[in-house]
Amino acid sequence: MPVIEVEHLAKRYGGTVAVKDVSFAVEPGEIFGILGPNGAGKTTTVECISGLRTADSGAITVLGRPAGDPTLRARIGVQLQESELQDKLTVREALELYSAFYPDPADWRRLADDLGLTPKLKARYGKLSGGQKQRLSIALALLGNPEIAILDELTTGLDPQARRDTWDLISGIRDRGVTLLLVTHFMEEAERLCDRVAVIDKGEVVALDTPAGLVQRAGDEQRISFRPSTPIDDELLTVLPEVRELRRQGQRIEIVGNGNLLHAVVSVLARNGIIAAELTMEQATLDDAFVHLTRGE
């Protein structure tokens, strides 16, 4: 049974339609990503799920209850964009205070340790860097030992190292059985973390699939380019079912194809005692898939 079920969600602010028609279901224990360009309706969607906003129409069920049910607030952890704390509150005070809000809080010292906040416990919020504020915000979302954690743009503003550390932490949280709903615009993040991704554009879900599935939709076209150690006939390679096209550029050969292209080509070359020098391979990425899916028609 899904832990989050969104059916035909719609939300407008005055005359602006933020969400037109969004439906998806999140299964227990998965990391579900919401991907989309700026202004696509991602944040409004998670705000409705979190109970911060009421949908104009459609239904949202979270852990078997309608979104906004007060009992859900102890069971879900939410990290929002642009939610700050008082400048003069220290990290330790914030963690201790927010622990007191929950019936069964996590050990804040461990959480602080996991997020690399231990050296900053005495620092005031106003003196923290953007990345440190972000990590504290994630810690606060996880303090209540939630069954579902909703994280909006969780690694925005983090440096690459901190971003990777956070990804490890997220994987660790999932291993504890927490379902995660991530809003992101980082393809690498979605590819690395998410089991499934809903791509939202202009208030509608335009695709819902695994990251690999989304990439495939963009076409699983691959390009291989290399310089053969000895001249070869085109036919040697064009007979392969995986090869669709072969082009020569000076000494280089460029092959476009799909399936297990690299393996097929390299095997043939090896059998003929030819070495592929300066071999490069390009593959469609989630980036391509994203652009493909959200390109204005």
Partner 1 sequence: MSVFTKLTLSEMRISLRDPLYAFFTLLFPVLLLVILGNVPTMQEAPPELGGLRVIDLYAGLSLGLAIGIIGLQGLPSVLATYRERGILRRLATTPVHPGTLLGAQLTMNLVIVLLCTILVYTVAIVGFGVPFPKSPLTFLLAVLLNCAGAFSLGLLLSAVASNGKTANAIGTFLFFPLMFFAGLWAPRELMPEVLRRIGDFTPLAAGQDLITDSLLGQSPGLLSITVLVGYLVICGAAAVKLFRWE
Smallest separation (angstroms) from partner 1 to the CB of 216? 36
Q: Does 4 bind partner 1 (CB under 8 A)?
A: no
Q: Are strands 148-152 and 65-66 parallel, antiparallel or unpaired?
A: unpaired
**What residues form DSSP beta bridges with 124?**
90
For position 101 contacting partner 1 by CB under 8 A, the verdict is: yes
- Please report whether residue 102 would count as binding partner 1 according to CB under 8 A: yes
How many alpha carbons fall within 13 Å on the CB side of residue 76? 30
> What single-letter amino acid sits at 144?
G
Contacts (CB under 8 A) with partner 1, residues 123-182: 140, 144
CB of 295 to partner 1, least distance (A): 33
Q: Which range of residues in 59-67, 85-93, 164-172, 249-257 is near partner 1 by CB under 8 A?
A: 85-93
Beta partners for 19?
11
Contacts to partner 1 from residues 186-225, by CB under 8 A:
none
d(CA 216, CA 213): 5
Q: Decide: is 88 part of the binding site for partner 1 (CB under 8 A).
A: yes
Binder among 57, 83, 161, 272 for partner 1 (CB under 8 A): 83
Residues near 137 by beta carbon (within 8 Å), at least 6 away in sequence: 79, 80, 83
Q: Which is nearer to partner 1, 183 or 246 (CB)?
A: 183
Task: Select from 3-11, 12-20, 72-80, 255-263 the region that touches partner 1 (CB under 8 A).
Answer: 72-80
Confirm or reject binding of residue 54 to partner 1 (CB under 8 A).
no
Cα(69)–Cα(37) distance, rounded to whole angstroms? 30
3-state secondary structure of 248: strand
Q: Decide if 166 contacts 122 (C-beta within 8 A).
A: no
CB of 48 to partner 1, least distance (A): 13
Please provide the distance, in angstroms rounded to a whole number, between the alpha carbons at the two ends of the chain.
36
Contact flag: residue 65 with partner 1 (CB under 8 A): no
Which residue, 83 or 272, has its beta carbon nearer to partner 1? 83
The one among 17, 74, 232, 262 contacting partner 1 by CB under 8 A: 74
Residue 66 beta carbon to partner 1: minimum distance, rounded to whole angstroms: 16
Among residues 7, 69, 93, 188, the one that binds partner 1 under rule CB under 8 A: 93
Name which of 53 and 120 has its Cβ closer to partner 1: 53
Taking the least distance from each CB to partner 1, the nearer of 100 and 239 is 100
Query: Residue 93: is it exposed, middle or buried by C-beta count within 10 angstroms (0-12/13-18/19+)?
Result: middle
Which residues are CB-contacts of 234 (< 8 A; sequence separation ≥ 6)?
246, 248
> Any contact of residue 80 with partner 1 (CB under 8 A)?
yes
Q: Residue 246 forms beta bridges with which residues?
A: 255
DSSP state of 74: G
Nearest to 243 by CA among 226, 227, 262: 262
Nearest CB to partner 1, comparing residues 84 and 235: 84
Q: At what angle do helices 130-142 and 91-99 cross, to 10 degrees?
A: 20
Residues binding partner 1 (CB under 8 A): 50-52, 70, 73-74, 76-78, 80, 82-86, 88-89, 93, 97-98, 100-103, 140, 144
